[in-house]
């Protein structure tokens, strides 16, 4: 590489997004003979990383997103670019983010037309070799933790069992729906708070993981596992059975935390309005899937719906409830990805010759390289 390679970081914090893609500690690791990090002013303000920290780490602060787009060779971001930002994208510019290409084909088309190279980190196969770049795991851990804390906060009850001179309090009953990365973190957090926890999942493999955290497991009696070790869509008969099992479990619970998803699909709707109406007064549902349809029929993204007796808390960006740590975990993932993206001479590597890059390549040279077979990852 002749000259400095520019890596750009945007200010994305607005609304429920509070994170930044790369934190100053990792800027310091990147800054070297051949790299210049360009940070839009205020990029880290919502995750408590002021411009001064980026300056100390060796970054250059630039006034606008347009400056980042016009000078950076690689841009690492969290969210999809806006329509305005797409107009700034330069031919050959490399964009690294979680674009969810199957959900946003129009966006991918528009970016491909700008001749950019797009890598979508959330479709990386989840193998031992990509663990340090696994944004799904790092951000889902943050979501699961935040969902548990939100459940405790909105509940009118204590979570732990208490024996006091003013009486005995029983531990709150918590049901976690979906025992993937976020669900397991919610289980672990609720166990630490002292709740009586059960988790429900359709994958048999989840049982051992739930039990190892000291929680009860509720299964469907079948192993509804599909491509890459993820859950598959349930059949009509399985859905009927699920409804029966969940109806009982939901009614018994003080707090229900929903994290169930099927990659590339709308979240399965599992808690109907009728089920909510049968819940105990004061119960709380926290739905981290509100943005992709919701596991509960009444969930609304970033709203607390009060159904009378039950509060339904829909969280779209649950990881942003812990923006400092979620950003630093994301940043480690980005740093690790960049170590693959750049060759020994600090030139962008050829995705055709690099398996990891090829697996998450969305478009290049105006051509869309994503197909839904890339989504769903590998479980190893």
Strand, coil or helix: what is 311?
strand
Question: Can you read off the two tokens belonging to residue 379?
Answer: 């479980």
- Residue 27 as a binder of ligand NAD (CB under 6 A): the answer is no
Which of 54, 69, 145, 200 binds ligand NAD (CB under 6 A)? It is 200
Rounded distance, CA 326 to CA 151, Å? 19
Structure tokens at 343: 């060759």
Compare residues 182 and 257 and give the one whose CB is closer to ligand NAD.
Answer: 182
Query: What's the CA gap between 271 and 111, in Å, rounded?
Result: 38
First-to-last CA distance in the chain? 36
Indicate if 134 belongs to the active site.
Answer: yes
Strand partners, 9: 39, 76
Q: Nearer to ligand NAD by C-beta: 261 or 351?
A: 261
Q: Given 19, 114, 126, 203, which residue is catalytic? A: 126
Place of tokens 């399965």: 268
Among this protein's residues, is 145 annotated catalytic?
A: no
Report yes or no: 258 and 318 within 8 Å, Cβ to Cβ. Answer: no
131 is catalytic: yes
Alpha-carbon gap, residue 254 to 61, rounded angstroms: 48
Which one of residues 180, 294, 314, 348 is an interface residue with ligand NAD (CB under 6 A)? 180
- Site track for ligand NAD across 69-108, x = CB under 6 A: ----------------------------------------
Site residues for ligand NAD, 264-283, by CB under 6 A, read 268
Which of 16, 41, 131, 307 forms a contact with ligand NAD (CB under 6 A)?
131
Closest separation in Å from C-beta 99 to ligand NAD: 17
Active-site residue, 137 included: yes
Q: Is 137 in the site for ligand NAD (CB under 6 A)?
A: yes
Determine the angle formed by the axes of helices 181-193 and 205-212, rounding to 10 degrees. Answer: 20
Question: 378: which residues sit within 8 A by CB, 6+ positions away?
Answer: 125, 126, 127, 228, 229
Pick from 201, 254, 287, 375 the residue near ligand NAD by CB under 6 A.
Answer: 201
| Residues recognised as catalytic | 126, 131, 134, 137, 230
Q: Which residues bind ligand NAD (CB under 6 A)?
A: 126, 131, 134, 136-137, 140, 177-183, 200-203, 206, 229-231, 234, 242, 259-263, 268, 379-380
């Amino acid at each position: 590489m002749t000259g400095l390679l520019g890596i750009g970081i945007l200010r994305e914090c607005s609304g429920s997004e509070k994170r930044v893609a790369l934190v100053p500690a990792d800027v310091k690791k990147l800054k070297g003979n051949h790299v210049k990090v360009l940070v839009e002013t205020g990029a880290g303000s919502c995750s408590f990383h002021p411009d001064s920290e980026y300056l100390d780490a060796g970054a250059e602060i630039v006034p606008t997103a347009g400056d980042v787009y016009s000078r950076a060779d690689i841009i690492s971001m969290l969210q999809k670019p806006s329509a305005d930002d797409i107009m700034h994208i330069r031919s050959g510019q490399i964009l690294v983010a979680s674009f969810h290409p199957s959900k946003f084909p129009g966006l991918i088309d528009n970016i491909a037309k700008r001749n950019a190279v797009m890598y979508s980190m959330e479709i990386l196969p989840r193998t031992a070799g990509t663990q340090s770049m696994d944004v799904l795991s790092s951000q889902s851990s943050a979501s699961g933790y935040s969902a548990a804390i939100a459940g405790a906060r909105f509940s009118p009850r204590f979570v732990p069992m208490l024996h006091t001179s003013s009486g005995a309090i029983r531990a709150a009953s918590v049901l976690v729906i979906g025992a993937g990365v976020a669900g397991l973190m919610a289980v672990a957090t609720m166990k630490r708070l002292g709740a009586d926890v059960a988790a429900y999942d359709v994958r048999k493999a989840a049982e051992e993981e739930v039990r190892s955290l000291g929680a009860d497991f509720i299964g469907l009696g079948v192993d509804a596992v599909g491509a890459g070790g993820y859950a598959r869509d349930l059949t009509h008969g399985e859905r009927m059975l699920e409804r029966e099992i969940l109806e009982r479990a939901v009614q018994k619970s003080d707090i229900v935390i929903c994290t169930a998803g099927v990659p590339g699909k709308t979240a399965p709707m599992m808690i109907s309005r009728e089920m909510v109406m049968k819940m105990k007064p004061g119960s709380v549902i926290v739905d981290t899937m509100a943005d992709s349809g919701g596991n509960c029929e009444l969930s609304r993204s970033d709203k607390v719906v009060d159904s009378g007796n039950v509060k339904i808390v829909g969280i779209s960006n649950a990881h942003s409830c812990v923006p400092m740590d979620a950003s630093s975990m994301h940043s480690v993932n980005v740093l690790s990805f960049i170590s693959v993206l750049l060759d020994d001479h600090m030139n962008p590597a050829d995705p055709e010759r690099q398996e990891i890059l090829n697996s998450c390549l969305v478009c290049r040279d105006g051509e869309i390289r994503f197909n839904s077979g890339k989504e769903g990852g590998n479980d190893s």
